[in-house]
Structure 1
Amino acid sequence: MASFGWKRKIGERVSKSAVQQFEAEAEKLEEEDGAGADEEVDWLHAIKRRREVLLDDCAAKSKRLKDEGALLAEEGRHWEAVKKWDEAIQLTPDNSQIYEMKSQVLTMLHEEFPAVKAAEMAVKFQPLWWQAWQTLGRAQLNLGEVDLAVRSFQTAIHLCPSESALWQEDLKWARTLQKQQLATKEKMRQEEETKTQILNAPELQQDYDFETDEVLAACVAIAERQTQYEELKRTAVVIDAEGNLQNVVSGEGSGGAVTPSEEKFVKARGL
């Protein structure tokens, strides 16, 4: 029996209808791929749009909480105001105005360190806002960081030199306190030095002839140092109503405590 062998190469003499069918299927696949790509682009756009809507909602809710906190602060309900602002910060953590208001209220509540931290955040997110620097300086002043407060007030003045309150009130007061700090440190240095001279008086290191006047002179010198030391202990550096520095010595029997008249001297500056 004769056998039949397939000798033709693959692809040879392919019918025209088969080619057309293949091309039609290829075009269909391309269209489906293109449609899928379009659907993917639409999906990404939908996500982006959804995110924008959520951000808008957060901003609106944060503004509402910020306004509610401001009303509570005006009514004197300070801790409730802080709570509202904390909720607003959770929604808009880069809102410098909320941090600035929170710092003001915390300063009123004598929460010095949290007030400084809140003001620092306000400056961080809006470094060109002079009022944030002013609030930071006042918070630093309450914390006792006088040098840092001076720098903050100077920055605020650089940003808004026309604001007279920064010159005449904040910076002037901070510089006065700075001078007081320096004067107090100098007084403490003199006091410590005088105390050391009393304990290690050079006159006590010598041998004297008790029949001469050297013993009397040595006793007088030691007594003068002792008097100077007692006066330094009873002296305090204070600021009068005009902002001038004065050394005030307390009267006898006061135990070294200085109690200047409230009419003449002021202890702290109200914000």
Structure 2
Amino acid sequence: MASFGWKRKVGERVSKSVVQQFEAEAEKADENPAEEETDWLHAIKRRREILLEDCDAKSKRLKEEGAVLAEQGRHWEAIKKWDEAIQLTPDNPLLYEMKSQVLTILQEVFPAVKAAEMAVKLRPLWWEGWQTLGRAQLNLGEVDLALRSFQVAIHLCPSESTLWQEDLAWALKLQKQYVATKEKIRQEEETKEQILNAPELDQDYDFESDEVLAACVAVAKRQTHYEELKRTAVVIDSEGNIKNVVCGEEETEEAMPPSKEEFIKARGF
């Protein structure tokens, strides 16, 4: 049986020197197979380094573009830029922190908290990340969690005055207001229960006696007290004192953030 071989076209000639050169290169490759493999691994590693450098550079550019858009009030466009940057560098806590700031401004409360949580998870010793998380938690209504976040931030950077004078102080006021409001609701429910199940109405009275009049007066007083509780709101004055204000008699200011500063920028570590 004839051995297998390549068929040359009719009239085609192969130079003897070309054949010898081909055989020599084949023998060299057989003698040093590891060398060629090492070159491939080095090339792949170098290519990966170049790609990572490109991703970092593009992510930095997108981050800065998002910061400019946020300062111009184009918040959703800024978030889009940062999302693109996160796809390139998902371990950059700065991107999540800046995104949380903008989401808080947009009243996207839950996504803002999630973004800030990711920032502190990636860099747990970054006080600005904890400050942003605390503000997002306040916006969500989680006052106790916000207090803890501000306390962590203060522990990491006790010299930062805004943490003491604005963030922590504001959170403590809101906590105080929350406790007072909870107590007001308890009193309101208790008074309502006393009206519905007045003990005076369980007794048998002589309709011509003074006891009937006294019972009616007692029930009327509870009803009046209940109506007053329903019309009052718990507010905090500028000095941090709790006040019960009757709705309609005095204007109440809405709760505002502790600082008017919109610190959306490429904040550093």
Q: TM-score, normalised by structure 2?
A: 0.81
Quote the Cα distance in structure 2 between the aligned partners of 1:231 and 1:76: 43
What's the CA shift for 1:143? 1.3
What's the CA shift for 1:42? 2.7
Matched, 1:110 2:101: no
1:93-140 deviations in Å (ceiling 9; x for gaps): 111111111111111222212211111111111111000100111111
- The residue type equivalent to 2:128 in the other structure is Q
Within-5 A mapping of 1:138-157: 138-157=135-154
What's the CA shift for 1:80? 1.2
- The residue type equivalent to 2:54 in the other structure is D
Where does residue 260 of structure 1 map in the other structure? 251
| SS of the residue 1:236 aligns to | strand
What's the CA shift for 1:201? 0.6
Matched, 1:96 2:93: yes
Where does residue 17 of structure 1 map in the other structure? none
What's the CA shift for 1:41? 2.6
Where does residue 27 of structure 1 map in the other structure? none
What's the CA shift for 1:32? 6.3
Where does residue 183 of structure 1 map in the other structure? 180
- The residue type equivalent to 1:94 in the other structure is D
Match of 1:36 among 33, 47, 51: 33
Structure with higher RCO (Cα < 8 A, 6+ apart): 2
The more displaced of 43-52 and 229-238 is 43-52
Where does residue 196 of structure 1 map in the other structure? 193
What's the CA shift for 1:209? 2.3
Matched, 1:54 2:51: yes
Where does residue 171 of structure 1 map in the other structure? 168
What's the CA shift for 1:33? 6.4
Matched, 1:69 2:57: no
- The residue type equivalent to 1:38 in the other structure is E
What's the CA shift for 1:244? 2.2
Where does residue 9 of structure 1 map in the other structure? none
Give the 3 Å change call, closer, same or farther, for CA 197–33 of structure 1 in structure 2.
farther
| SS of the residue 2:32 aligns to | helix
Where does residue 124 of structure 2 map in the other structure? 127
| SS of the residue 1:110 aligns to | coil
Q: Is the 8 A contact 1:237 1:248 kept in 2?
A: yes
Identity %: 76
Quote the Cα distance in structure 1 between the aligned partners of 2:165 and 2:200: 52
Match of 2:82 among 68, 72, 85: 85
Where does residue 209 of structure 2 map in the other structure? 212
Quote the Cα distance in structure 2 between the aligned partners of 1:244 and 1:35: 84
Quote the Cα distance in structure 2 between the aligned partners of 1:110 and 1:185: 25
Match of 1:245 among 242, 247, 254: 242
Q: Is the 8 A contact 1:173 1:243 kept in 2?
A: no
| SS of the residue 1:76 aligns to | coil
Q: Is the 8 A contact 1:85 1:98 kept in 2?
A: yes
Larger Rg: 1
Quote the Cα distance in structure 2 between the aligned partners of 1:82 and 1:57: 21
Unaligned runs of 5+ in 2: 1-27, 261-269
- The residue type equivalent to 1:267 in the other structure is A
Quote the Cα distance in structure 2 between the aligned partners of 1:202 and 1:67: 69
- The residue type equivalent to 2:126 in the other structure is W
What's the CA shift for 1:65? 0.7
When the two structures are aligned, how many residues end up with a matched partner? 234
Quote the Cα distance in structure 1 between the aligned partners of 2:90 and 2:150: 25
Q: TM-score, normalised by structure 1?
A: 0.80
- The residue type equivalent to 1:161 in the other structure is P
